[in-house]
Each structure stands twice: as C-alpha cells, then as structure tokens.
Chain A
Amino acid sequence: MKEVAATSAYTTQTESETAAIGRALAASLSAGDVVLLYGDLGAGKTAFVKGLAEGLGAPQDEVSSPTFTLMQEYRGGHLTLFHVDLYRLDDPREIDDLGLEEIAADGVLAIEWAEKLPPSRAQRFGGPGSQAVVVRIEYGDSDARRITIHLARS
C-alpha cells in the first residue's frame, strides 16, 4: 500500500535545466530508493542522472552513458549512485541477472530505459521504507523537454 504519492511536472529548455531537475530531486532521496527513467533516445536521461549525481555529492563529470558497460557506480557523495542502462537488454530474464534489487539496497539506483522492465518488475521497486520515483522525459517543441516526476513512498 502506497502511503505517500506526489506528481510534479516541469518543462526544460536545455540539457543543463534537465540536469537541474535531477539535482533538485536528489535532496529527497535516501538509501534504497530507485529512480526509473523513461524516455526516448536523446531525451536527456543521462543528463538527468548527471544532476542526480551532483545532488548526491558525487562528481558529476564522471557520469556518462552506461549503455555499453550496463552499470556504472559513482562514489564520493553521501550516497553511492548506481547508474544502470537497460537499452541493450531485450529479454526480461537477462534483466533478472543484473541483480537490481540487491544493488538498490546499498544506495540510490537510477535505471535508464525502464521501459525494458516488465511492469510487474518495475512495481516491485520501492519496498518498505523506500521509494520508487518514476521520471518521464518527453520531447517538446524544438529543444524543450517535458519532465514528469512521480514519487511514491510505501
């Protein structure tokens, strides 16, 4: 049963504005929280995670796309940020093998291409005392992006 839920929406015009939303979100995260990022190629998911890293106190210039490496971790902040990218993974069984639930317990887990998670799987994040944050980034006019953030704490 979700006890607290809130949705907010933003429009950004630049990549650094997108990162700033991530930076602001970091303040409301704690260990065990999972950020699920949805959005098309080039929407700004990695830029958002850059902001998240900075907000958590980790060096944001270390953040780059983990598409090839699948997972990167950034230490140095008050919480470790685990940055996962499911872009290359097409089979849910392979996603199981990443052990995302175990990772999530140790810090903040940000997952790009959360579309690849089976819905039942996505709902499993945010166990007792932790929260699942759903971030959707959509293309707007020209360089604009619409970002909606849904927080649910159980």
Chain B
Amino acid sequence: MRILGIETSCDETAAAVVEETGDAAKPWAIRSNVIASQVPIHREWGGVVPELASRQHVRDICGVVERALTDAQTTWRDLGAIAVTQGPGLVGSLLVGVAFAKAASAAAALPLVAVHHLAGHIESLVLHNGELPLPAVVLVVSGGHTSLYLVDRPGSYRLLSRTRDDAAGEAYDKVAKLLGLGYPGGPVIDRLAQEGDDRAVPLPTTRLTHADRNAPELKGDLDFSFSGLKTAVLRLVRAHDGPLSDAEIADMAASFQRVVVASLIEKLFDAARRHGARSVGIAGGVSANSRLRAELQQRGERRELPTFVPSLTLSTDNAAMIAAAGLRKLRAGITSPLDINADAALALG
C-alpha cells in the first residue's frame, strides 16, 4: 500500500508518498519526499511568523502534494490512505494541512489517519533504519521539543521526560542571537564549535543524576533544562569588555555545545538503563548536530547498545515520517473521522 503524508505543523509545507515493502524488518520505503522550505521567508523576521506561515502553507500545499505524487509516479487511485499531522504546532499552520487532507480524503474516498508530529519524528528512525530492537528509548530534540519517549511495542509511545523550560534547539537559537550569529542557530554554532576550545568557558552543567546509580529515582529527574545555561551565556557576554572576538565566539560555541550534548546524552542513556532498552535513538532537527551524533555513537558502542538517527533529510520536519507513522496506525486498525480538528496542544503518551 502507498500512503500520502502531509505535514504543515510549523514552517515547512511538506508532502510525501511512502510505500509498504512487505519486509517486516524494514517495513517502509520513501517514493517521494517534498519540502517547500520556508526558511528563506522567515529568516528576515528572525523566526517563524504565524500568519506568514499559514498564508505560505495555503499557497504551497496544492503544488507540494502534486509534486509528491508526480515524483512518486503515483496517482490518487494508487493511494490507500492519507496521513496528516494533527498537532502539536501552530494552529493556523496545522489547519491548512488538516483541511486539505480531510477534503482529499472525502473526494478520493481514502481513509484519513491523524498523526502526532512527535510520533512522526520517532517513526523517522524506523523509516530510515528499519524496525528498532524494542524496548527503545528515543530522544526527540528540536526547536520546539526536547522529550524522551519509551517505545516498548510498535506504535506505543510513552513520555518519560521533557524540558522544564527551553527546548535544546531554542537554546541554540537564543545563544546564537546573543553571539550575533543569526537564525537558525544550530548549524552555525555546530560549525563554529569545531574551531573552538570546548573547555574554554566555564558553563554550568545541568544536574546529572548518574552519580549514584543506587540512589532512589526521583520523579522528573530525567527532565531537561537549558534556561540556566542560556542565562550563563548571557551573563558572560554582557560582562565581557567589548564585543567577543571570533576566537572567543568559537570557544563559547564549543563550550555551550559540549554542555548541551552532554546533558542530552546522559539523560538518554540513563533512561535507557532504567527501562532496559535494547536500542536508543535521537530524532528531530537537533539530531543533525555533529557532536550529538558522534557522542551517541561512542556511548552506544561503549554500552553495547545499538543507536539510531534518521538521515539528515528526515531529521527536520518532513511528511515522509508522517506517512510512516500513518501506516503504523492504519495497520493497527486506527483511522480518523472526517470531523477531526487541528489540535495545537495535542498530547502523545
């Protein structure tokens, strides 16, 4: 079966066609994956502007879907279902995708499957790598989210922890702005960090819980926090005599990145240990970070635990992952009625 996926939860209008392979170990194959990136539009505003985003989605959605079908050499008749991101996200943006998917579902008489955006990110790991050894602990980390999920059986996602304040990607964006590096902050800090000394700047590490492995586990101690780190960078930049030199900016970027990555990796592997995970994964935009990928692999090898990341294309918001998560639900017998609504605060697990 082929399924059309549609994703408009934030600043990307995306559509994709994903096909079942018949191979239980690697169940899905991408036939097309189209993203009309709105980054050039948003950059001049320094972020995602809701009304601009929804107008752009309206303008792009038909062309993006047509392109996804053409690239996949697929007609509406070849499809078995339509999957769409129902939430969470910007409600104006979500509505465009949901309305389109409902209309197409009614017109083409295809089942509709509403998908949680983060379930899509988790399934991007399976789409790229094949089924993960379960139970798996997955970190979803992006500009809007930093959450750990336990996947104990296919299609089940249990929220283990989340950020108490800023998402990791948001901390990157805010620190990049403090350092005068522009938006988005992730790629530029990652690049500059490679030229800096990651121990040059004394930045606070968030509380780590692995010091005493026999200590009772406290509720919420797998939670993330990046606000204090952001404040520490702000204080150092403000206290600095004059603007930072390029070398000082590189040192700050490297030191910041070291602390963020250490916190993400520690909690991911701590959760994996507690839940007897047989694999770990990192999905979402920040999974493209080079240091995070390298430390994930190193720690996995040391722990003899298989580790998974999506391809770079599947790490940022895309519709192929929504199509994959849609197939997972469809095969579990779950479809959605045509009266579903976009839900900006949709919960998962």
**Which residue numbers of A lie inside 8 Å of B, CB to CB?**
40-42, 46-47, 50, 61, 64-65, 67-73, 87-91, 94, 97-98
Contacts and interface: CB of A to CB of B under 8 A. Distances in A.
Contact of B47 (A50, A61, A88, A97): A88
Nearest to A89: B49
A87 B171 CA distance: 13
Given A41-B174, A68-B143, A72-B345, A94 B49 contact: yes
Given A41-B174, A42-B227, A65-B227, A97 B51 contact: yes
A61 B212 CA distance: 25
A64 B142 CA distance: 14
A68 B166 CA distance: 9
Interface stretch (B64-72, B74-82, B103-111, B157-165): B157-165
B52 A94 contact: yes
21 contacts: A41-B174, A64-B162, A64-B163, A64-B164, A64-B166, A65-B165, A65-B170, A67-B170, A68-B143, A68-B169, A68-B170, A69-B89, A69-B90, A70-B50, A70-B90, A71-B344, A72-B344, A88-B46, A88-B47, A91-B49, A98-B50
B47 A87 contact: yes
B220 interface: yes
B234 A42 contact: yes
A47 B10 CA distance: 25
A88 B45 contact: yes
Contact of A90 (B45, B144, B166, B228): B45
Contacts of A91: 45, 49
Interface of B: 10, 45-52, 88-90, 142-144, 162-167, 169-170, 173-174, 178, 220, 223, 227-228, 230-231, 234, 344-345
Q: Which 8 interchain pairs have the tightest Cβ spacing?
A: A88-B47, A42-B231, A97-B51, A68-B144, A68-B143, A65-B166, A94-B49, A69-B144
Contact of B48 (A40, A50, A70): A70
Contact of A88 (B49, B230, B231, B344): B49
Contacts of A42: 227-228, 230-231, 234
Which secondary structure dominates chain B's binding surface?
Answer: loop
A87 B170 CA distance: 11
Contacts of A94: 45, 49-52
Contacts of A87: 47
A65 B169 CA distance: 12
A84 B178 CA distance: 22
A71 B345 CA distance: 9
A50 B165 CA distance: 9
A64 B234 contact: no
B166 A67 contact: yes
Contacts of B51: 94, 97
Contacts of A72: 344-345
Contacts of B144: 68-69
Contacts of B162: 64
Contacts of A73: 344-345
A69 B162 CA distance: 15
Given A69-B144, A70-B50, A94-B50, A64 B45 contact: no
A61 B88 CA distance: 17
A87 B49 CA distance: 11
A91 B48 CA distance: 12
A23 to B, nearest CB: 16
Contacts of B164: 50, 61, 64
Contacts of A90: 45-46
Contacts of B344: 69, 71-73
